[in-house]
Amino acid sequence: MLKDIIENNQNYQPGLSIDCVIFGFHDNQLKVLLIKIPHSEKWSLPGGFIPIDQDIDTAAVTVLNERTGVEGIFLRQFATFGKIKRNDQHFSKEVLEFLKIEEAKGKWLTQRFVTIGYYALVDFLKTIPKSANKEEVIEWIDHKEVPELILDHAEILDKALDTLRIELNLMPVGYNLLPEKFTMPELQKLYETILDKKLDRRNFLRKINNIGILNKLDEKKSNVAHKAPNLYTFDKDKYEEVLKNGLNQGW
């Protein structure tokens, strides 16, 4: 695939790339989607080059789909990374030889690339990655156990996580990440996992109720060892309204 891009590099925006940070939440775990590339012991974020005939946001969807097979995800642009030497030596002579790319043609790869970061938060059991390259490995990895990454991808990942936590104060999360019916402790655990901190139960209950996006059901969770907690659902219309208008509270 990379060799094809080099052969047709006139079809891609020079010096500009995209990297995607896809967070997956399920069963009280926050994971990140990573790729193991064959010519390196390091892992990477799903990334790629920008077709010259596509808008940036469209290109991000294209890149993610081509690298992981994932589609139907709303990606949010969060930052641009452009240190002068960010991709120096990434495509060394040895790497170009491994990829069977002539050194002269490989100069397109070794130029300075500025990369645009996009992120998304999804239910990783509903987001099934599939590599188009049989030599690559794609895995969901716990965000606290991420191995060494190429280039400045660790910086990109950290910035995406910071952005996710900041935006948690600006908009609700949980819809499509929790079962249709869930308990307040389950919703609080979602927020605690993303924020990586404990939240006071009473304060969380007060704040989440003030947002007005929940419907309390006349039923309780079954098959629990202790007092059965109430079940809730999201009010989709109110949820969409808050997404549109935003929040003004912090966690």
What's the pLDDT tens digit per position in 172-214? 999 989 999 999 999 999 999 999 999 999 999 999 999 999 9
Query: What is the predicted pLDDT for the residue at 36?
Result: 93
Is 3 a residue whose pLDDT tops 70? no
What spatial distance separates the first Cα and last Cα of the chain, rounded to whole Å?
44
Same domain, residue pair 224 and 154: no
Same domain, residue pair 234 and 119: no
Q: Beta strands of 82-234 (E only): which ranges?
A: 114-122, 137-142, 182-183, 214-220, 230-234
Region 44-65: what's the mean pLDDT? 96
pTM, to two decimals? 0.88
Question: Angle of helix 184-195 relative to helix 201-211, nearest 10 degrees?
Answer: 100
Same domain, residue pair 102 and 202: no
Final residue of a structural domain among 117, 139, 167: 167
Same domain, residue pair 115 and 219: no
Is 48 a residue whose pLDDT tops 70? yes
Final residue of a structural domain among 118, 137, 167: 167
Dist. CA 148–CA 155, nearest whole Å: 11
Same domain, residue pair 154 and 198: no
Q: What single-letter DSSP state applies at residue 187?
A: H
More confident residue, 104 or 50: 50
CATH of the domain at 48: 3.90.79.10
Q: How confident is the model at residue 18 (pLDDT cuts 50, 70, 90)?
A: very high
Dist. CA 127–CA 217, nearest whole Å: 29
Q: Per residue in 93-143, pLDDT tens?
A: 666 666 667 767 667 777 888 999 999 999 988 899 988 778 889 999 999
Buried b (16+ CB within 10 A) or exposed e, 122-133: bebeebebebee
Average pLDDT, the chain: 89
Q: How confident is the model at residue 159 (pLDDT cuts 50, 70, 90)?
A: very high
**48-62, 179-193, 201-215, 225-239: range with lowest mean pLDDT:** 225-239
CB 142 within 8 A of CB 43: no
Final residue of a structural domain among 128, 143, 167: 167
How many structural domains does the chain have? 2
What would you measure as the largest C-alpha separation in the chain, in angstroms? Answer: 70
Nearest to 103 by CA among 89, 90, 91: 91
Is 217 a residue whose pLDDT tops 90? yes
Instruction: Name the token pair of 13.
Output: 């925006």
Dist. CA 121–CA 25, nearest whole Å: 7
Sequence-separated (6 or more) residues with CB below 8 Å from residue 61: 71, 73, 75
Range of the domain at 187: 182-245
Same domain, residue pair 140 and 202: no
Same domain, residue pair 31 and 133: yes
Does residue 175 fall inside a structural domain? Answer: no
Dist. CA 119–CA 18, nearest whole Å: 11
Strand partners, 142: 31
Does residue 177 fall inside a structural domain? Answer: no
Does residue 51 fall inside a structural domain? Answer: yes
Same domain, residue pair 121 and 189: no
Residue identified by tokens 């079954």 is: 222
Same domain, residue pair 137 and 190: no
